Structure 1
């Protein structure tokens, strides 16, 4: 039933069939989310309109980490069980993870300037997210730097696993150290410290970003499968 998650051929077929549905859903949700978040949601009483940067920053931050977590899982499958699709997946989605990481860093800096008075501080959370972006870049370089494709894939995958130690550091940095970055205000499901008028549009934008993420994965993985087929033919 779930063999498409690790079989290149079955993934390609499933992604091709669902491509248009995912694309249209992503477009509609992004339009609704942007209108709801940027136009119809209220300004914050302290941050004003600046608070709306959160509607892009938070989903991007979550997906930057989630992408790397997925890469770690597929890296373990590839190295431990010799599942070739793991290498394909890592190579395909690393650029997606980098894009979301850059979105997180850029929107965070834009928010930080009026709130903190500076574009950047070497805060534990910010620095660990920057390191995440550097890992993405190095993985992408390693994947393209070896004449022997298999060696390049294995080395980059090992690097993925090494970088996974950064994920709990990002997550818990605000609890472990005194940082400027605020602690969790949304993941506390019992009593999230965020107004419902801001929480609802954030949820809509998060869902929209996740569907967009699925669409990008569909595009990138299918493209990488085609590249691999072409290489094998040669």
Structure 2
């Protein structure tokens, strides 16, 4: 009796765990997500600034939500994704997972910075101050420090694999801050307003406002995916520069092959 075999038309996603196979897939995805980011961004801004009505209490100052809310959401989502890939790389010792975590960190830091800055722009006309040590604002600021700490720690360790392990521990420890950010307005009496969109209740904002915010969020999602995939491709070329597939890729684009640094393992050496 023979063992059952997988259907021929099934997709083996595990084969893309190899950098050589993931690299071209990521390149194609960058193009599609970049186009979607531009189209959705233009549509979201049009709805947000030309279609959505003026808020009765906040006036036109509320329109900052079309950038503030998406970046705030993504700042938390990206950190969870970064911690996930860092944990996968730590447990299973997979190179691509650690590369993904490293590629996510700068974009997550950017989203967190934009969330804090746009929140300050919103807070001045709404609260009368640029900054307060509110629970959500403070925990979001801690999130920015975690991203910067991840990047600084990785850059301070010369050995890439040791840097991956050290930053993975930091990312996994810091993930506890994400639920604190999300539930801070429920756990403490904070100045920050509660969520306008919830899975358990109807939206508390007008339909055009909601549509503009969701479309803008989708645009920011696509932008982040495109940027992270483009960055991980560069990290692959840097860290796999001794591999034959990188040399072929560079020669195929007319670039000169990268020379391995003295600290780089020779071709065929275990990593």
* Same fold, TM-score > 0.5, yes or no: yes
Q: TM-score range by the shorter chain?
A: over 0.9
1:80 and 1:108 mapped to 2: Cα distance? 37
Could you say if the C-alpha distance between residues 55 and 118 of structure 1 is closer, same or farther in structure 2, counting changes exceeding 3 Å?
Answer: same
Q: Secondary structure at the match of 1:230?
A: coil
2:42 matched residue in structure 1: 31
Provide Cα deviations, 1:119-152, integer angstroms capped at 9, x if missing partner. Answer: 0000000000000000000100111111222212
1:223 and 1:145 mapped to 2: Cα distance? 19
1:194 matched residue in structure 2: 205
Corresponding residue to 1:141 among 127, 152, 158:
152
1:12 matched residue in structure 2: 23
Contact preservation (8 Å) 2:30, 2:225: no
Within 5 Å, which residues of 2 pair with 1:1-234?
1-3=12-14, 6-230=17-241, 233-234=260-261
- Structure with higher Rg: it is 2
Q: Normalising by the residue count of structure 1, what TM-score does the alignment of the two structures yield?
A: 0.95
Cα offset for 1:5?
6.2
Q: Secondary structure at the match of 2:56?
A: coil
Q: Normalising by the residue count of structure 2, what TM-score does the alignment of the two structures yield?
A: 0.82
Provide Cα deviations, 1:142-183, integer angstroms capped at 9, x if missing partner. Answer: 111112222122111110011001011011111111100111
Q: List alignment gaps of at least 5 residues for structure 1.
A: none
Q: Secondary structure at the match of 2:240?
A: helix
Q: Secondary structure at the match of 1:191?
A: coil
Could you say if the C-alpha distance between residues 200 and 4 of structure 1 is closer, same or farther in structure 2, counting changes exceeding 3 Å?
Answer: farther
Q: List alignment gaps of at least 5 residues for structure 2.
A: 1-11, 244-259, 262-271
Cα offset for 1:40?
2.1
When structure 1 is superposed on structure 2, of 178-187 and 190-199 the one drifting more is 190-199
Q: Secondary structure at the match of 2:241?
A: helix
2:128 and 2:191 mapped to 1: Cα distance? 12
Residues matched between the structures, number: 234
1:111 and 1:4 mapped to 2: Cα distance? 46
Could you say if the C-alpha distance between residues 38 and 6 of structure 1 is closer, same or farther in structure 2, counting changes exceeding 3 Å?
Answer: farther
Contact preservation (8 Å) 1:112, 1:118: yes
From the two aligned structures, give the one with the greater helix fraction: 1
